[in-house]
Amino acid sequence: MTDTASTPLPVHADGPEGPYREIVDGLRAEFRAGRTRSMAWRRAQLEGLLAMLNDHEDDFVRALQEDLGRPVLEAFTADVGASKQEIAHTLKHMERWAKPRRAGVPLTGLPGRARVVPEPLGVALVIAPWNYPIQLLLLPMAAALAAGNCVVAKPSEVSPACSAVLARLIPRYLDDKAVVVIEGGVPETTAILEQRFDHIFYTGSTDVGRVVMRAAAEHLTPVTLELGGKSPTIVAADADLDVAAHRIVWGKTLNAGQTCVANDYLLVEASVRDVLVDKMTAVIGEYFGADPQRSDSFGRIVNERHLARLTGLLEGHGGTIVTGGTADVEDRYLAPTIVVDPDVDSPLMTQEIFGPVLPVISVESVDDAIDFVNDRPKPLALYVYSRSKETVERVLGQTSSGGACVNHGIVHLIVPDLPFGGVGPSGMGAYHGQTGFDTFSHLKSVLEKPTKPDPPLLYAPYSSWKEKLIRKVL
């Protein structure tokens, strides 16, 4: 998900190394001054984010069109609108999330009162990807700010128009002494990662996630890694195939397939495979017309390097392309493509696709589909289409994935109270809603004991009666 071959666009940099230590030290001083802890300050930052999105919606949409060729409605819905919804939810609930949480005290701890106190961590680093460059920078930032932290925000250089808009507007709407945007490419990101942070939140590829984790280990900094993987879709023979075709094609063509939770491949019971493929082919025409390249509703691949990677996946896969497969380098266009029964060991089936190419694999049964999924790394998302509750529960109960959605795809992300994150190689940690607030908080345990009474039960000298009593209690 992260492109490392683009020209850096440094803003806060005097060269490849940049004054990053000074920036982080300045933010840490602001945090220690205590201003960011107040609920009024936290509320002002989130209100600033909402005002920025409202005031400059057109700027963000134009930048998304420039970087990704996104249709206007798609750009608004997936980046601007989704960000506004999540930030508004956080703004509504964060005061409750920040309150101490009561905890029970066992008999051995009485008399006493216990509570869990959320407190901000300090200075957080948020590194965003290029595919949803607005949403995936602002939502982790909002969670960090709601929890009372200072933030270094690093937008992706692969979406330069969006990066420039964010770098220009964020200092105008947020506290620029506590929130800093740093633009740039690999040299800048590498130098930033050499600094000590209190939390690092990274969204992107698994390979770069390893780099981030190694850098964080130098300072024992906790990390949240939102990565990717090949998210499977299981279609049972009893599924509503008309609905499944529409929702699967929508999920695979949203942002031209450049979505970390896009349905990466289909596992379809053989008895309905051909019918579903025909229906999906028809839906592509319904959505984008006879020539999707001319459609105002279909986006573009982010750059030529990623397009070349995708066209490479369409070579030597051993399957049958039933629709699509054409590309236009100058237009950064790849047609919506369906590949039936490719070789399961081909790059198309072993690498995350991250584009509008959908492999369809025939399976004899849902149980075979479950085995197929379990033989591979745990995915970020899993989707199942079936009218049978028993089938759905069997799939959910016998597989592991970061998240799951039944009879739809991707839309589980829009529920603020559902934690979003991966498992195993698809990521660690989660955010959205209170989970995001807690991610950027230290949940401090506090036990208060009165000074009277002060029973000597645990004090020396130990005696047989003390031992007997303690053994009864424990």
User: What are the phi and psi torsion angles at 403 (to 5°)?
Assistant: -150, 175
Q: Which residues contact 290 (CB under 8 A, 6 or more apart)?
A: none
Starting at the earlier edge strand, list the strands of the sheet with 223-226.
Answer: 179-181, 150-154, 123-127, 199-203, 223-226, 427-428
> Of 150, 162, 188, 260, which is the active-site residue?
260
Return the SS3 of 287. helix
CB 448 within 8 A of CB 100: no
Q: What are the angstrom distances between the C-alpha of 183 and each of 50, 91, 170, 402, 446?
A: 22, 27, 12, 30, 40
Catalytic, 218? Answer no
Strand 441-448 to strand 113-120: parallel, antiparallel, or no bridges (unpaired)? antiparallel
Determine the Cα–Cα distance for residues 56 and 164; give it in Å rounded to an integer. Answer: 13
Q: What are the angstrom distances between the C-alpha of 460 and each of 344, 357, 456, 468, 474?
A: 68, 72, 8, 15, 18
Catalytic, 405? Answer no
> Of 86, 157, 183, 226, which is the active-site residue?
226
189-198 burial: b if 16+ Cβ within 10 Å, else e: bebbbebbbb
Active-site residue set: 226, 260
